Amino acid sequence: QPCWREYLTTRIEQNMVVNCTCPISECRAQPTTAFIYSILSSQEIIAKYEKALLRRYVECCSNLTWCTNPQGCDQILLKDGLGYGAACSKCSWTSCFNCSFPEAHYPASCSHMSRMTCAKCNHGFCWRCLKPWRPSHKDYYNCSAVVSKAAWQEKRFQDYNERCTFHHQAREFAISLRNSISSIREMPKIRNLTFVLDACKVLEQARKVLAYSCVYSYYNQDAESIDIVEQQTESLEMLTNAL
C-alpha cells in the first residue's frame, strides 16, 4: 500500500493520474476511483485528484469550457452555440467559444483575430499556422503592393491599432474605477453607489465593443458598410466618452 500511495501521489502531482495504469510494465490495468480514494490519505492530494477528474470531464464535453479570464478563474461555462460567448457568472469575463482568443471579440470575427498583416508589404498570414492568409484560408492575395500603397496601408494600420489600444486601456481604467468604488461602498456612512457600479460595467462593455470595432473596420473591404460602421462607432465613442 505505501508503494501505491507514493506512485499515485507522484502521478497526481505531475498531473498524469487520469488513465494511469499499474506500475508493473506488463500490466495495463487502471486503478479505479474507489481504489485511489482507499489508498490516499492526504486531503490535499485528494483535492488535486478531484480537480484532475473535473478537468478531464470538461475536456470531454463539447458543450463545456473553462472561463478564459487571463487573471484566472476556475468557473465552467456552458456553450450557448451562438459563438459570441456569455458573461461568466463568477468574474463577468466573456469568452469566445469558437476560437482560442481569450475573450469574446464581437463585432470582429474569429478570422479577424487570427489574421496578421505585415505593415511593410501588406502580406497577410495566420498567426496560428503561419501560412499565407490567401489562398490557404479560402481566398487569394497578391503581395506586390507598391511603396506608396504600402505606406498608406502602414499608416492605416497604425491609426486603427492606436484607437484599439486606447479603448483597451480605457477599459482597464473603467475596471480599476469599478474596483475602487466597490471598496469605498463597504465603508460606513457611504450612500448606495450601485448606480455608479452599473455605469462602470456599461463603460467596460462599450470600450470593449469600440476596441474590436477597430479590428472589424480595419479588415472590412466593403466601402458602403464601413461608412455605416464608422458612423455608429463614432456615435458610440462620443457617448462613451461622455459617460
pLDDT band for position 102 (50/70/90)?
A: confident
Q: Average pLDDT in the 82-104 region?
A: 73
Q: What is the pLDDT of residue 27?
A: 85
* Residue 71, pLDDT above cutoff 90: no
pLDDT given at position 188: 62
Quick one: pLDDT at residue 210? 92
Highest mean pLDDT among 33-37, 98-102, 203-207: 203-207
Going by pLDDT thresholds of 50, 70 and 90, the confidence category of residue 60 is confident
Mean of all residue pLDDT scores within the chain: 78
- For residue 141, the model assigns a pLDDT of 37
Considering Cα of 227, then 232, then 233, then 237, what sign does the dihedral take? positive
What pLDDT is attached to residue 29?
87
pLDDT of residue 147: 40
Model pLDDT for residues 29-49, shown as the tens digit of each residue = 888 889 888 888 888 989 988
CA atoms within 13 A on the CB side of 123: 10
Of 139 and 99, the one with more pLDDT: 99
Per-residue pLDDT tens for 118-127?
A: 656 666 666 5
**Cell of residue 29, nine digits:** 490495468
What confidence tens digit (pLDDT) does each residue in 152-188 have?
Answer: 677 778 888 888 888 998 999 898 888 888 887 666 6
Q: Is the pTM of the predicted complex or chain greater than 0.85?
A: no
pLDDT at residue 181 in the model: 84
pLDDT of residue 143: 39
pLDDT value, residue 142: 39
Band (pLDDT 50/70/90 cuts) for residue 202 is: very high
